[in-house]
Each structure stands twice: as C-alpha cells, then as structure tokens.
C-alpha cells in the first residue's frame, strides 16, 4: 500500500493566496491549453463591440482611458482582448472630430499566485513617446500596462477610475468552497465527490449561495471603481439546466473522468476517502436566472444585455479520431485550471498519477466525450443606471 498524501487540505488554506491557472509554458500550462477560451471569446466579439459603443469617450484632460481585465490569467488571450478593446475605442475617437484622444492604460488583474511573469513576457514593448507613434506600429503596444494582484470579489482600484471592465471565464471560480460542504456534520457535506455535479440539494444550494455572495461583492466593488459612462463586459461559464447540481459542461469536465480518477486513487489505497472528500473544485456555473437575480438584487448596475451563448467544447484536438490525443487533451485541460489545487492537496507525484488516470479514462470514452463536452456561457453587458 502506497503512503497517503500528507499535504495541507486545500479548503483550509487561504484559497485566494494560492489559486491560479497552471503557469509556465509546459504541456499542461494554461498558456498551451487556452485555445478553446480564445475561440469562445472571439465568438462574442460582436457583443463586446456593442458594449464598447456605449462607453463615454473622455477628453485628454480627464486623464488616461483605463481598461481592466479581471481574472486575466497568464496567456496571450488577455493581451489580445485588451488590444481589441483599445483598438475599438481608438476607432471611435478617430470617427469623433473635436476629441483630443487620451492615453490608454491597461491593468491585468488576477490573484497574487497568478504567473504574471509569463504574462508580462508576452507583452509587446510600448510603442513610442507619442500616441501617434504607438498607433502607427504593428509590433508595439499603444497602452501603458500594469499588473494588479488581488481578488476581484473586493476592491482593486480607486473610486471612479476605470472606463471599461472586462472579465472572461473567471466569475464561475468561487472565493472559497462553502464551509458546510466540508463539514461532515452538515447535510451539505459532499461525501464521495470532488465537485457539485450530481450532489444533493443541500450541497448544490450551498454552492449557489456562495456564488450569489461572491457575485454581489464583485458588483458592489466595481460600482465604486467604474467611471460614470463606463461599461462592464462579463463572460463566465453558465448552464441551461434549472438544477444547480447539473453543471453542464463543467459537470462533464470535473464530474466524470476526473471524479473517477480520484476514486481510483482511493480504491487502490493511494489516498484515503477522507482525503478525496476534503477536496472540492470551487466552481459554480450559474443559470441565466441565477445571474440575473444577483444583479437585480444588488441594484448597482443596469443590465444592457444578458444571455446564454453556446461556447462549444474546451478540447482542441488535431485528430478527433485519435482517442489517446483526446484523453491527453482532457487531462491537460483539466490540469491547466485545477492542477495547482490538486498538487497542493495531494502532492506533485500523486497529481501526476491522478491526471494520468484522467487521460486513460477519457481516452476510453473519447467519442462520447467529444459529443458530450459542450460549454455554455453567460454573457453580460452592464453599466451604471
């Protein structure tokens, strides 16, 4: 019998100090496993541009035009989206005679454990001493850039400071696993599972309540930081089912082969059942009604657009008929977003073993996996009332 993992239980750690997408440039890094997120973000660019058309243009005397990406992670997707935003606003200035365009500032924000080093290595150099020089260059950026570490469920910026908030594929990450989910005495104790998928009603409601609390804190914080006339564009994992225990694509990602791989470790004596049960993925994919209820109850923002969009599969494979490639793609996708939590909970060696089993199990069900693993996203455009 192999020794049990003796790491710190993730739920008892300060999640915001250690949660991050997997950094670096390796095979299972977020940088190399976020192509699907890029495709999904591009699919709603027309809605983003619609939001940007409603943003108030400021004069140069009012200071820089400020864009903030919340939950930026460490890949090139965030840089691309910030540049899309700034280019669209620049074109609006060019079409509005009489405006003296301001300089642009972009803030890339994520939790302190985010791999900001990899992100900043991807940034092109600043373009020049004048805005005209910046805009004339295709290989340089036309904005000043900075990183802002911290949780977006609290304040990050001074009051009345940001013109455009953008956040994609981040708000489904909770600030914590609900305490009752980890309490063996509670009806919400998520025994035998590492995710909300298929959990009992009490567990599902605990996750929903945590999401509501977190989103409320997010909205209150942004309402103080956004400028009058600014806008916020948000994309997060969503679901079409009214049942919070049916998490759709997120349920397939975390509640099938990933769940079974944890059970394998238990059955083979590599970890205890208590060790498995003390690990829960802090993700909640809301329904459209879940999201709308929080926005309306908070009252800080008016809803300009709120809808569910089909996002497609998170798996990008060159050969869909290659079951081994599909298996590796699922394991890498799962590890890129949850690997840091897994390694903190059971250690690197057992983490390697776990994701190897995820790959094997997924490969054995490759065709069904490609058919079933479909994500939906909540897309929201909000502004001050």
Residue 341 and residue 180: Cα distance in Å, rounded?
A: 19
Residuewise pLDDT in 10s, the chain (385 residues): 334 444 444 444 466 665 555 455 555 455 555 555 666 778 889 999 999 999 999 988 888 999 999 998 877 888 999 999 999 999 999 998 877 889 999 999 998 888 888 888 888 887 654 444 444 445 678 999 999 999 999 999 999 999 999 999 899 999 999 999 999 999 999 999 999 999 999 999 999 999 999 999 999 999 999 999 999 999 999 999 999 999 998 999 898 999 999 999 999 999 999 999 999 999 999 999 999 999 999 999 999 999 999 887 777 777 888 999 898 888 988 888 888 889 889 998 999 999 999 999 999 999 888 888 888 999 999 999 9
Determine the Cα angle at 119 with ends 114 and 121, to 5°: 135
Burial 95-126 (b: 16+ CB within 10 A, else e): eeeeeebbebbbbbbbbebbbbebbeeebeee
> Domains plus CATH for the chain?
10-383 (3.40.50.150)
How confident is the model at residue 8, as a pLDDT?
41
Q: Tell me if 92 sits within 8 A of 52, measured CB to CB.
A: yes
The three-state DSSP-derived secondary structure of 165-208 is EEEECCCCECCCCCHHHHCCCCCCCCCCCCCCCCCCHHHHHHHH
Tokens of 278: 């003390």
Helix, strand, or coil (residue 329): helix
Per-residue model confidence (pLDDT) at position 10: 44
Question: Which residue in the block uniquely carries the two structure tokens 């879940």?
Answer: 290
In 3D, which of 288, 297, 284, 190 has the Cα closest to residue 246? 284
pTM over 0.85: yes
Contacts by 359-364 with C-beta closer than 8 Å and gap 24+?
359/324, 359/327, 359/328, 359/330, 359/331, 360/327, 361/257, 361/260, 361/261, 361/327, 362/257, 362/326, 362/327, 362/329, 362/330, 362/331, 363/323, 363/324, 363/326, 363/327, 363/328, 364/323, 364/327
CB-count burial class (<10 Å; 0-12, 13-18, 19+) for 236: buried
CA dist 114 and 96 (Å) reads: 38
Residue 2 in tokens: 């192999």
β-bridge partners, 105:
66, 144
The pair of three-digit structure tokens given for residue 226, joined into one six-digit string: 């956004």
Q: Which residue has the tokens 């908070």?
A: 298
d(CA 245, CA 251): 8
Report the alpha-carbon distance of residue 188 to residue 203 in Å, rounded: 4
Nearest to 147 by CA among 235, 223, 214, 74: 74
Enumerate the β-bridge partners of residue 164: 67, 231
Which DSSP string corresponds to 205-265? HHHHHHHHHHHHHHHHHHHHHEEEEEEEEEEEEE-S-S-TT--THHHHHHHSHHHHHHHHH
The CA-based angle 321-325-331, given to 5 degrees, is: 135
């Amino acid at each position: 019998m192999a020794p049990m993992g003796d790491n710190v239980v993730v739920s008892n750690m300060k999640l915001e100090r250690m949660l991050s997408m997997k950094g670096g440039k390796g095979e299972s890094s977020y940088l190399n496993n976020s192509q699907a997120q890029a495709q999904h973000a591009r699919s709603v660019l027309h809605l983003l541009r619609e939001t940007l058309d409603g943003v108030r243009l400021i004069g140069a005397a009012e200071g820089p035009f400020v864009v903030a990406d919340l939950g930026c992670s460490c890949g090139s997707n965030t840089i691309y989206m910030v540049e899309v935003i700034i280019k669209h606003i620049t074109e609006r200035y060019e079409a509005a005679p009489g405006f003296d365009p301001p300089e642009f500032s972009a803030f890339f924000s994520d939790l302190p454990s985010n791999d900001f080093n990899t992100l900043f290595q991807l940034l092109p150099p600043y373009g020049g001493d004048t805005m005209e020089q910046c805009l004339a260059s295709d290989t340089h950026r036309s904005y000043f850039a900075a990183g802002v570490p911290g949780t977006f469920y609290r304040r990050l910026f001074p009051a009345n400071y940001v013109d455009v908030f953008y956040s994609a594929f981040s708000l489904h990450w909770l600030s914590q696993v609900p305490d009752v989910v980890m309490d063996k005495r509670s009806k919400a104790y998520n025994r035998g599972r590492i995710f909300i998928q298929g959990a009992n009603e009490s567990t599902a409601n605990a996750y929903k309540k945590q999401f509501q609390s977190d989103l409320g804190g997010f909205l209150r914080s942004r309402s103080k930081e956004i400028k009058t006339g600014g806008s916020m564009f948000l994309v997060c994992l969503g679901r079409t089912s009214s049942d919070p225990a049916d998490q759709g694509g997120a349920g397939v990602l975390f509640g099938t082969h990933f769940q079974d791989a944890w059970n394998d470790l238990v059955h083979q004596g590599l970890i205890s059942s208590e060790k498995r049960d003390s690990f829960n993925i802090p993700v909640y994919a809301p329904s459209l009604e879940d999201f709308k209820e929080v926005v309306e109850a908070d009252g800080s923002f008016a809803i300009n657009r709120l809808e569910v969009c089909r996002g497609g599969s998170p798996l990008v494979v060159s050969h869909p008929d290659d079951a081994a490639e599909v298996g590796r793609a699922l394991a890498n996708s799962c590890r890129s977003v949850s690997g840091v939590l897994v390694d903190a909970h059971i250690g690197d060696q057992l983490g390697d073993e776990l994701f190897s089993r995820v790959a094997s199990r997924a490969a054995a069900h490759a065709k069904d996996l490609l058919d079933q693993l479909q994500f939906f996203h909540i897309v929201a455009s909000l502004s001050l009332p």
